[in-house]
Structure 1
Amino acid sequence: MVSNPDEKKLHTFQDWLTWDGTWELINGKAYNMSPTPTPLHQFIVGELHFALRTFFQNRSCYVFVAPFDVFFSEHEDYQLPDQVTQPDLSVVCSKEQISKKGCQGAPTLIIEVLSPSTALKDFNEKFNLYQKYGVQEYWIIDPGNQTVHVYTLQDGSYAIRNLYAEQDTIHSLVFKDLQVPMNRLFSLE
């Protein structure tokens, strides 16, 4: 039976399987993935997708754009994952993680583009979740302030943080040659 979750209750992956629409499950809480992203949000995702696809073209990493489920689990068996997210962009560098349902385990790089309804979740719940499960690098794009926060995992925590603004060029620490000029991301404004 398809349903909508009670956003005030805690849920399991089994519950998630029955929900209608696009939902994330983080620490038992249901997060609706609507409303539809703004044109600026989609433009930024498109520019980043193009830059990442170009960079990874002849490398053994794969770039996915939402909607694309990423499953996190405390167990080796991903039959009943503990958490499900839909990052705006995911870079997966292990083909074995890719299944018909999405990505099982931490992508190497996750990028989230903030919208007013997701900002707190992206900076708090997702930040902690991605850190806990070993996402090597996490980018948070803030269209409102035209900034990019890049967090890199060191000894199990996001110890390295870089903030890019205005005419900066974003540099990845995990992928040494990956650089994205900021002015490409916000040129729709």
Structure 2
Amino acid sequence: MPKLKEDYTKQEKINGVVYNMSPSANYRHSIVNGNIYGKLREGLKGSLCLAFMENLDYRYHVEKNDDYVIPDIMVICDRKYLKGSAYTGVP
């Protein structure tokens, strides 16, 4: 059975410690993120780079641990490290 929205919490794992990212940011935060994302996406047209807005895990030091963060906005130019819902390369 799918999780209900109330059951879903966004989390990040840093140095082995899991941090809840809930409650969600307010609407002002979303407006700012959307504006930044839009400008980045516009500026990246014609390049190999992609802009992502939330919901993409950045897994760093995968050779050492399974830590991850979920940046508000991320630009990725090396797509070979994109797998599923995560990016594991150098930002």
Q: CA distance change for structure 1 residues 81 and 101 in 2, over 3 Å: closer, same or farther?
A: farther
Q: Distance in 1 between matches of 2:66 and 2:35?
A: 31
1:72 aligns with 60
Aligned to 2:71: 87
Q: Shift of the alpha carbon at 1:81? A: 4.1
User: Which residue, 55, 77, 84 being the options, matches 2:43?
Assistant: 55
Structure 2 CA distance, aligned partners of 1:45 and 1:81? 29
For 2:87 and 2:25, the matched residues in 1 are separated by 22
Paired position in structure 2 for 1:10: none
2:58/2:69 contact within 8 Å kept:
yes
List aligned pairs for 1:106-117, cutoff 5 A.
Answer: 106-107=90-91
Q: Distance in 2 between matches of 1:46 and 1:93?
A: 20
Deviation at 1:28, TM superposition (A): 1.0
Higher relative contact order (CA 8 A, sep 6+): 2
Runs ≥4 residues deviating over 3 A: none
Residues 70 and 106 in structure 1, CA contact (< 8 A), matched pair in contact too: no
Query: Aligned equivalents of 2:65 and 2:52: distance in 1?
Result: 20
- 2:4 alignment partner in structure 1: none
Report which of the two has the higher share of strand.
1
Give a deviation string over 1:129-183, Cα, whole Å, max 9, x none: xxxxxxxxxxxxxxxxxxxxxxxxxxxxxxxxxxxxxxxxxxxxxxxxxxxxxxx
Report matched runs for 1:138-177 at 5 Å: none
Kindly provide the CA deviation profile for residues 97-126 of structure 1, in whole angstroms up to 9, marking residues without a partner as x: 11113111332xxxxxxxxxxxxxxxxxxx
Q: When you count helix as a share of all residues, which structure comes out higher?
A: 2
Give the TM-score of the pair, scaled to structure 1.
Answer: 0.42
How many residue pairs get aligned? The number is 84
CA drift at 1:74: 5.0
Indicate the percent of aligned positions where both proteins have the same amino acid: 27
RMSD over aligned Cα, in angstroms?
A: 1.6
Code of the residue aligned with 1:53 in structure 2: it is R
> 2:33, 2:72 within 8 Å by CA — same for their partners in 1?
yes
From the CA coordinates, give the structure whose radius of gyration is larger: 1
SS in 2 for 1:37: coil
Give the TM-score normalised by structure 2: 0.83
Corresponding residue for residue 22 of structure 1? 10
